[in-house]
């Protein structure tokens, strides 16, 4: 797309990156067919091509309005358009630039600014969020049904195995996940422990920065990234093999640290190193598949491959941050199939569920429409259980589903624990 940047953006890092991306778009419109907001709203300005055009106008010097901001706000940042685009347009990077510029020029009203600040602080500060959650859980039984739905019951996460292996990996605990679903990371630690990898944590790490970043608070997002890089780098120096992500929304952000900090001379190299060491848990287990499968099939007493305690028919929702953001497809499905689960067919797997970080709070009508559509597809195959790979998708889908929604790695842990119990094993580590 022919682009002539306004003087204020020409020869700036943001302007150069935006111009390169804008020029790669050939305006073909293929991306419209897979854009969730275009599917729901039917307005070209709520499609990737329309938003690219709006951002191009702004970068060429047009004055953005509240309407420009609204169309950019309505984007889920699901990056489905990137997967569809035949020209490789890096839409997500362009949107970051466009939103940042529009935010500076248009601003927000007092109430909206306060609401966004409250979301950033409330959700992005683990101590604050977990304290409020525990308080809510303690009086949950007294709550009316509509409030109860927003406060999940307290969960027993079981034991975190002691660090005993030479192979070590580090996990990002995350901000809301340890409070809402503590079993996800302990299940991950148990599965890796059986394989022969000790999973360790670093308490000084905090939110990955995605919450602030997607609320256009670039400085706070980068500050979170720098803090995590500072506390993780010594672990990499000490031989930790990987930084493991159990929430794909965090994973895509940490994998982007290198890009986001590329112009910071003090952090560019360290950020690139952290990004290169970051893996979704599915990537780790796909590599370790041979050992995992030996563990899953090692009991020779006729126990069925799938756990007797765990439902067999599973509907899997691949989060956008996994399939479009990190370009990881097929790994989770194959690991679940290896463990004996039957995956039910799910239509429109590529479409966002509407969670998208704080999107479900800030754009509830579109988020609810997408949730209903997604849950309808997930339930169509009559599964026993729904699984996904991101805490945001999990809680969003659960709020509209009678079926339990879990993280898929919890199922592998269930199968392995059930297998241990059925054959009397106490230590199934193979290395």
Q: CB atoms < 10 A from the CB of 230, how many? A: 14
Q: Nearest-CA neighbor of 57 among 68, 73, 71, 70?
A: 68
| Candidate list 5, 17, 18, 25; residue touching ligand SF4; CB under 6 A | 25
CA 369 from chain centre, in angstroms, equals 20
Q: Does 53 bind ligand SF4 (CB under 6 A)?
A: no
Sign of the CA dihedral with 52 first, then 54, 60, and 64 last: negative
27: contact with ligand SF4 by CB under 6 A: yes
Residue 43 interacts with ligand SF4 (CB under 6 A): yes or no: no
> Considering beta carbons, is residue 93 or 190 the nearer one to ligand SF4?
93
Coil vs helix vs strand at 32: helix
Comparing C-alpha atoms, which of 406, 401, 420, 421 is closest to residue 183?
A: 406
342-343/313-316 β-pairing: parallel
Smallest gap, in angstroms, from Cβ of residue 34 to ligand SF4? Answer: 6
- Is 37 among the residues that bind ligand SF4 (CB under 6 A)? yes
3-state class (DSSP) for residue 292 = helix
Choose one: 20-28, 130-138, 253-261, 383-391; the region binding ligand SF4 (CB under 6 A).
20-28
Nearer to ligand SF4, 94 or 277 (CB): 94
User: Closest separation between CB of residue 390 and ligand SF4, Å?
Assistant: 15
DSSP letters, 237-277, are HTT---EEESSHHHHHHHTTHHHHTTT-TTTHHHHHHHHHH
Q: Sign of dihedral through CA atoms 99, 100, 106, 108?
A: positive
The smaller minimum CB distance to ligand SF4, of residues 44 and 384, is found at: 44
Helix (H) or strand (E) holding 70: helix 66-73
- If binding is defined by CB under 6 A, does position 102 make contact with ligand SF4? no
Residues with Cβ within 8 Å of 328's Cβ and at least 6 positions away in sequence, in order, are: 248, 280, 282, 283, 322
Question: Of the ranges 72-80, 113-121, 135-143, 203-211, which one interacts with ligand SF4 (CB under 6 A)?
Answer: 72-80
Q: 78, 195, 295, 346: which one contacts ligand SF4 (CB under 6 A)? A: 78
Number of residues that bind ligand SF4 (CB under 6 A): 26
Question: Out of 54, 58, 59, 81, which residue is the one contacting ligand SF4 (CB under 6 A)?
Answer: 81
Question: Is 28 a residue that touches ligand SF4 (CB under 6 A)?
Answer: yes
51 interacts with ligand SF4 by CB under 6 A: yes
Instruction: Determine how many CB atoms are found less than 10 A away from the CB of residue 381.
Output: 15
| Candidate residues 3, 14, 30, 233; the one interacting with ligand SF4 per rule CB under 6 A | 30
Tell the smallest beta-carbon distance from residue 86 to ligand SF4 (Å).
6
Choose, by CB under 6 A, the member of 68, 77, 177, 323 that binds ligand SF4. 77
Query: Quick check: 79 binds ligand SF4 (CB under 6 A)?
Result: yes
By CB under 6 A, name the one of 17, 21, 22, 35 that touches ligand SF4. Answer: 35
Q: How far apart are CA 256 and CA 252, in angstroms?
A: 6
Q: Which stretch binds ligand SF4 (CB under 6 A): 76-84, 126-134, 236-244, 260-268?
A: 76-84
| Contact call for residues 84 and 33 (beta carbons, < 8 A) | yes
- 97 contacts ligand SF4 (rule: CB under 6 A): no
CB contact set of 421 (below 8 Å; sequence gap of 6+): none
Residue 362 binds ligand SF4, judged by CB under 6 A:
no
33 binds ligand SF4 (CB under 6 A): no
Beta-strand runs (E) in 96-225: 167-171, 197-201
> Which of 194, 252, 181 has the alpha carbon at shortest distance from 394?
181
Q: Out of 36, 126, 325, 383, name the contact with ligand SF4 by CB under 6 A.
A: 36
Instruction: Please identify, using beta-carbon distances, which residue of 36 and 179 lies nearer to ligand SF4.
Output: 36
Task: Kindly list the residues in this chain that would bind ligand SF4 in the complex (CB under 6 A).
Answer: 25-31, 35-37, 48-49, 51-52, 75-81, 84-85, 87, 89, 91
């Amino acid at each position: 797309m022919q682009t002539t940047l306004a003087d204020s953006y020409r020869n700036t890092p943001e302007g150069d990156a935006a111009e390169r991306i804008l020029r790669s778009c050939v305006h073909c419109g293929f991306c419209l067919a897979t854009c969730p907001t275009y599917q729901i709203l039917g307005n070209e300005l709520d499609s990737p091509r329309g938003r690219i055009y709006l951002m191009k106008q702004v970068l060429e010097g047009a004055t953005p309005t509240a309407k420009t901001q609204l169309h950019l706000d309505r984007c889920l940042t699901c990056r489905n358009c990137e997967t569809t685009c035949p020209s490789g347009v890096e839409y997500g990077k362009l949107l970051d630039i466009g939103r940042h510029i529009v935010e500076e020029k248009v601003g927000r009203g007092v109430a909206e600014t306060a609401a966004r600040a409250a979301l950033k602080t409330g959700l992005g500060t683990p101590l604050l969020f977990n304290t409020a959650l525990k308080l809510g859980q303690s009086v949950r039984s007294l709550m009316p049904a509509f409030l109860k739905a927003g406060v999940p019951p307290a969960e027993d996460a079981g034991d975190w195995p002691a660090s005993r292996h030479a192979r070590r990996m580090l996990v990002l605990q995350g901000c809301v996940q340890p409070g809402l679903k503590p079993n996800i990371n302990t299940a991950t630690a148990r599965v890796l422990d059986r394989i022969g990898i000790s999973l360790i944590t670093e308490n000084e790490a905090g939110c990955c920065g995605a919450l602030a970043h997607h609320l256009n608070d670039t400085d706070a997002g980068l500050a979170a990234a720098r803090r995590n890089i500072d506390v993780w780098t010594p672990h990499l120096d000490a031989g930790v093999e990987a930084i493991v992500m159990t929430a794909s929304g965090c994973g895509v952000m940490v994998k982007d640290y290198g890009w986001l900090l590329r112009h910071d001379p003090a952090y560019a190299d360290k950020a690139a190193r952290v990004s290169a060491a970051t893996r979704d848990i599915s990537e780790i287990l796909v590599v370790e598949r041979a050992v995992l499968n030996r563990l899953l099939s090692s009991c020779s007493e006729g126990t069925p491959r799938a756990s007797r305690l765990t439902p067999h028919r599973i509907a899997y929702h691949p989060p956008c941050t996994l399939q479009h953001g990190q370009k990881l497809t097929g790994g989770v499905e194959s690991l679940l199939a290896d463990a004996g689960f039957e995956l039910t067919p799910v239509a429109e797997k590529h479409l966002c569920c509407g969670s998208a970080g704080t999107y479900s709070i800030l754009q509830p009508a579109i988020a609810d429409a997408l949730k209903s559509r997604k849950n309808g597809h997930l339930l169509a195959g009559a599964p026993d259980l729904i699984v996904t790979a991101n805490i945001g998708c999990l809680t969003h889908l659960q709020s509209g589903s009678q079926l339990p929604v879990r993280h898929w790695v919890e199922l592998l842990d269930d199968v392995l624990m059930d297998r241990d119990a059925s054959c009397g094993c106490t230590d199934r580590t193979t290395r």
